[in-house]
Structure 1
């Protein structure tokens, strides 16, 4: 086993994700990755210490390492137990997340995916599940977090992992992007607003060459009849929508705001929405896709 620093670097966190096949390890791993963990899947237990050593030498670029280990790895129980004990003795205090589910649920999941259990070896699926439970028994006893996913949706599992492995509040990243309809809709748009119901500053000679980033154009657009009411009501509606997206685990949301050329009305509106929608639950950035194309 490779030598590790005698004193673990401040801020280095180690998590080991394991448990029964079909219980949700991939979902948990993806969630940790979204939380900023450096995730390695199906790493042989004897290489975990090496991975932690590399993280410790990364000078802060890697501070959270999560390793997904399952029964596909040879010498699973003995090697993993030794690694966990060694890391713990050196002060790294690895957190073991163990996922499980009832046999009935696991069988239903396997049958839906038409997969063979890794320990089935030509026998019955129930034989593979029984062998895996026996093999993982010692690991389950030392796990810090044990999660039964039998009655959990994917979103429920993600929320639980987030709660266990981060102290920061869950936030959705909102990108407000202005665009011009004549250049096409943004392909990644989740929601679209059409601002062509407002008068076009293009037909005002003194505003034509300016953009929605300029105060005179912004004032013109936002003071038009209906603009203020529309923005106020849309923000109220968006609060409901974004709350639902957050509960469903959606991390990234794109709100596209369009006008004819993406220069005046959409730009001014996108900037205003960016200011109004910034909150504790949203990380907002504003992008102007077609500004400067004319």
Structure 2
């Protein structure tokens, strides 16, 4: 192996070499080096190479691995003034940039007014976002932000239904322009209802979504219906068909992952057996005239007689 290969073997996980070994010829060294460091960067960001490469067969070629990683390591686009809108472009003329900044300020003020009005008037849809966690300042701030997202969605899409069971109104199908906004607002609804429930990590969620989408239509419909039945009021969409983009969205990642495991499509990671705490040494009771004393046993090193010293207990 060449010198660069020896250097990179010290920092790149062994799973990289197992799936995509360094090429024997000299034509792909740069490509393999870039791939190896991409995986190393992913591990540094908290995405283990073993998880990213789990769906690939052994000894895949570089092109296959790079295409696989391209879906998982794409940078997340910065959100705009509303989470379903893109961020304002930076390389624009000064007058256009001022116009965008003014528009963003107006949208922020509108969202603040909507949120303030919702808390003052207490519409029925607000009850559909659960109870505010008033005992924790950080969770309360996050809950208010979720309310602000839902209020902005309702205002932009002119939702007039005031129903706690349907705070977002009717489901917006995937072929409509507001579908992405609906998914974002649905995520805010569930996060507001369950502020103490941790989400699934993004890598595992993406793997579960890809596996689900690769299943036949009939199995996907069965899984979607089972998840919807189990979640009850927390399911904010149809039970089949167009629900593919909904069930693979972040807010349902945990439910989908659990359902796939229960049906044998995925295997849960083994949970280590809890270790029993070490049994403390027994106490030694010594009888003294007139009273009883309980003391710890002597330390092991004290109990061992040393040369020239005679210790008696």
TM-score range with shorter-chain normalisation? Answer: under 0.3
Relative contact order, higher structure (CA 8 A, sep 6+): 1
The structure that has the greater radius of gyration is 2
The structure with the greater share of residues assigned to helix is: 2
Higher strand share: 1
Q: TM-score, normalised by structure 2?
A: 0.21
TM-score of the superposed pair, with normalisation by structure 1: 0.22
